[in-house]
Amino acid sequence: MENPALELIPARAVFILALLAQVLAGASAAAAITAFTADKVVLDDNGRVLQTEKITMAGEKIRAESATGDMVMIFRHDLGLLWALAPEKKIYVEIPLDQGTWDRMTRGAAGGDRVRVLGREAVQGFSCTRKEVTRTRSVMGRRTTTTRVIWHSGELPMVLRSRSDREITTELRDIRPAEPVKKLFELPDGLRKVGNNMGLFLMYMRGRDTGPPTRIH
Domain presence at residue 124 = yes
| Measured distance CA(183)–CA(46) in Å, rounded | 38
Full domain range(s) for residue 102:
32-205
| Measured distance CA(164)–CA(135) in Å, rounded | 12
Domain presence at residue 14 = no
Q: Low-confidence residues of the chain, pLDDT below 50?
A: 1-9, 11-30, 210-215
DSSP state of 216: B
- Burial profile 135-151: b = 16 or more Cβ within 10 angstroms, e = fewer: beeeeeeeeeeeebbbb
Domain presence at residue 126 = yes
Domain presence at residue 57 = yes
Give the pLDDT score at 208.
54
Domain presence at residue 23 = no
Domain presence at residue 214 = no
Number of domains in the chain: 1
Domain presence at residue 10 = no
Domain presence at residue 97 = yes
* Region of residue 87 (left: phi > 0; alpha: psi -120 to 50; beta: else): alpha
Give the pLDDT score at 181.
93
pTM, to two decimals: 0.77
Give the pLDDT score at 137.
81
Tell me, what CATH number does 123's domain have? Answer: 2.50.20.10
